[in-house]
Structure 1
Amino acid sequence: MAGYEFPERKRVVDPSSTTDPAEEAACTSRDPAFLHGVVVGFDGSTSSERALAYAVGMAVRSNCGLIIVHVANRLPTTVWAGCEPPALVDVPDHRTEILGLELACAENLSEVPWVLLERGGDICHELEEVGQEYQADAIVVGTTHGLIGRIFGSVSGRLARRAQRPVVVIP
């Protein structure tokens, strides 16, 4: 984003270490402002708005970028066709476009460079995958309130148990 420049981060490389060329190519193709950034799950709910506000403050304090992830819904085809084995179909989700417009107008995001990503699939898996891609320092999510979270388990609880990086859960 225009107007935001971060000082160069010095990277110390151990000459005896071996790095995977594919992994290094993936790291160098990313914008350095978002490498080691903060990933936040966002769906427009009240709890995700609180998580976004906390993640903005965390990114400002850490002098890094903010990776906002919206996971779109995927529905099994067995609901419609009754076929086996179950397959997943991407349903067009215009919600990401609406969220992007809302985020573009948000005043608190003017303090930090940010990007909005749309993914499809399991929320926990997708947030952790984005965290790996960007080598995120943390993943921030809001809590799930309601009956569905109690029956199937909350996204924040499942993510905290399986993530390979710190997870911050905002009530």
Structure 2
Amino acid sequence: MAGYELPEPTDRKRLADPSTPPAPADDERYARDPAFQHGVVVGFDGSTTSERALAYAIGMAHRAGSGLIIVHVANRLPTTVWAGCEPPALVDIPDHRTEVIGLELACSDLLADLPWVLLERGGDICHELEEVGQEYEADAIVVGTTQGLLGRLFGSVSGRLARRARRPVIVIP
């Protein structure tokens, strides 16, 4: 096959060649669909700016011939974190908004010709987007700007992400 090799199933017994090192069995990137390797990661929460970021990311993925990794980061942190206190534990409350977003995206005509996946993550938005970008070896992360009072008080997600990311971050106004 041209370009890449599919790994052998782990349950199949075969003789090991002592001259080649064993392939890591728990390395997730070998099990990923190649369409999403070096894809475009986009943060999406259903807001107007995230819809514009999604539209830009769709065009970027089309031009690059790659897949689109849509990430919805659910806020699962207690309110004490926003007040500056350390959380006693993370609250793992299911976020049904991701299911609604998934249904809306599945019915959208914009994503008809493009391989895409919707991931739900919980925690800090910047950390989770960068983590997904690293897992999929993304070419870029696309986000919308943070608007309103919360962005001014706590700092914008796009600004923090642009400072810490190890790949290009595209901020859509």
Which range, TM-score by smaller chain? 0.7 to 0.9
Determine the structure 1 residue equivalent to 2:48: 46
2:77/2:87 contact within 8 Å kept: no
Report the structure, 1 or 2, having the larger helix content: 1
Shift of residue 88 of structure 1? 1.3
**Distance in 2 between residues matched to 1:42 and 1:164, nearest whole Å:** 20
Change (3 A) 1:85 1:59: closer
Amino acid at match of 1:60: H
Change (3 A) 1:159 1:21: farther
Change (3 A) 1:20 1:63: farther
Q: Secondary structure at the match of 1:89?
A: coil
Determine the structure 2 residue equivalent to 1:3: none
**Distance in 2 between residues matched to 1:66 and 1:123, nearest whole Å:** 18
**Distance in 1 between residues matched to 2:127 and 2:87, nearest whole Å:** 21
Change (3 A) 1:166 1:22: farther
2:78/2:87 contact within 8 Å kept: no
Alignment of 1:14-33 (within 5 A): 21-22=23-24, 25-33=27-35
Q: Secondary structure at the match of 2:70?
A: strand
Determine the structure 2 residue equivalent to 1:116: 118
Moved more, 24-33 or 121-130: 24-33
Determine the structure 1 residue equivalent to 2:65: 63
Change (3 A) 1:76 1:130: same
Determine the structure 2 residue equivalent to 1:16: none
Change (3 A) 1:61 1:148: same
Shift of residue 9 of structure 1? 3.9
Q: Could you state the TM-score of these two structures normalised by the residue count of structure 1?
A: 0.82
Alignment of 1:19-168 (within 5 A): 21-22=23-24, 25-76=27-78, 86-168=88-170
**Distance in 2 between residues matched to 1:62 and 1:70, nearest whole Å:** 23
Q: Secondary structure at the match of 1:31?
A: coil
Shift of residue 28 of structure 1? 1.2
**Distance in 2 between residues matched to 1:104 and 1:62, nearest whole Å:** 21
Identity %: 75
2:77/2:123 contact within 8 Å kept: no
RMSD: 2.4
Deviation track 1:34-85 (CA, whole Å, cap 9, x = no partner) reads: 0000000000000000000000000000000000000011132869xxxx86
Amino acid at match of 1:116: L
How many residues are treated as equivalent by the alignment? 154
**Distance in 2 between residues matched to 1:20 and 1:135, nearest whole Å:** 22
Change (3 A) 1:77 1:153: closer
Deviation track 1:92-149 (CA, whole Å, cap 9, x = no partner) reads: 2100000000000111111210000000000000000000000000000000110100
**Distance in 1 between residues matched to 2:98 and 2:105, nearest whole Å:** 10
Q: Could you state the TM-score of these two structures normalised by the residue count of structure 2?
A: 0.81
Q: Secondary structure at the match of 2:101?
A: helix
